Amino acid sequence: MSDIRVGLVGYGPAGAYFHAPLIHATPGLSLAAVVTGNPDRQAEIVARYGAAAVSDVRDLWERCDLVVIASPNRTHVSTATAALTRGLPVVVDKPLARTAEEGRELLRLAEERGLMLTVFHNRRWDGDFRTLRRLAEDGRLGRVLRLESRFERWRPVPKGGWRETGGPEEVGGLLYDLGSHLVDQALRLLGPVREVYCESDVRREGVAADDDTFIALTHDSGARSHLWVSSVAAERGPRFRVLGSAAGFVKYGMDVQEERLRAGMTPGSPGFGDDEEERWGVLGTDDERVVVRTEPGAYLDFYRGVAAALREGGRPPVDARSAIDVLTVIEAAHLSASRRIVVHLS
């Protein structure tokens, strides 16, 4: 069978460091064309991937069988709508949309057309999160009572760009960006949420969107998730601290795959997703602890799942409904922070 031709919209950090190399490394997919108006990026696309570089999304439709949207957040809904309307299945980088209702409208359109719509929640395939899910499923934690999860950075000087300087129309800020990942992981591990509380701040000069945010979720099960995203963390906490009725799990350090993608490492190369031994997590109690080897990270599994869904007609790797659930929580978090209230979802 011929490869599925992929058209990629956007070649900023998401497109260049994540989507393009992952698509290129996935059997059955071929990066056919990329939309970017930057001449230097256009030259890189041609040289590195042999793909066409086009300046306008309207030049993409006839060149591809699948559209991947990695352009700024404010363009996700309009570009996905245009692609679905033209009969093309779609992958959207997170967040799927600005609101849950916008996400539902996209899903309705995809279902009406009989087309795949999926969302790049790649952090489901982080090695540390895969490890945590295995420990929970194997019963080694007992009943999970509390999840503490952090994406913290020390960036006292803003980098600039729409994620930091844009207003609400840009769908920027850490809550939509890294917060989407943390909320998604919490929902995958602990299930639906009934209450949301959020504290959200802008700490740095020249920044218009949140750069220091805390979210507390109460799940239907009674478990709680405490989630932090910050650009002003001079001292970072653990990536995960999870407390169960039988044991706890603590893990420091970020998943290695983003770092290696940014360094130009090929996603399919041996050891690409392997964590460094000194960063493996610890499982146990005050009485006894054991070091737990980190599961290999597996971002390629997302695009392998996309290829399989399109060829075999199966389920996509991320159900768009789960991405809409994430947006429901994020909207509630924004409301909670603005009104200083606990928002009840059920």
Sheet containing 281-284: give its strands across: 289-292, 281-284, 248-251, 240-244, 144-152, 224-230, 212-219, 193-201, 343-344
Cα angle vertex 271, ends 267, 272, to 5°? 25
Q: In whole angstroms, give the CA distance from residue 108 to residue 321.
A: 11
Q: Which domains does the chain have, with CATH numbers?
A: 4-122 (3.40.50.720), 123-300+328-344 (3.30.360.10)
244 or 268: which leads in pLDDT: 244
3 or 169: which leads in pLDDT: 3
Residue 96: closest CA among 114, 80, 116: 80
Determine the pLDDT at residue 72.
96
Q: Determine the average pLDDT of the residues in 132-157.
A: 97
Q: In whole angstroms, give the CA distance from residue 207 to residue 269.
A: 38
For 95-105, what is each residue's pLDDT tens digit? 999 999 999 99
Q: In whole angstroms, give the CA distance from residue 200 to residue 183.
A: 15
For 147-198, what is each residue's pLDDT tens digit? 999 999 999 999 888 889 877 789 999 999 999 999 999 999 999 999 999 9
Q: Determine the average pLDDT of the residues in 74-80.
A: 98
Determine the pLDDT at residue 153.
95
For 16-28, what is each residue's pLDDT tens digit? 999 999 999 999 9
Amino acid at the residue 76: H
Phi, psi dihedrals of residue 185, rounded to the nearest 5°: -65, -40
pLDDT at 1 over 80: no
Entry field: residues in the chain: 346
**Which residue's structure tokens are 């020390």?**
154
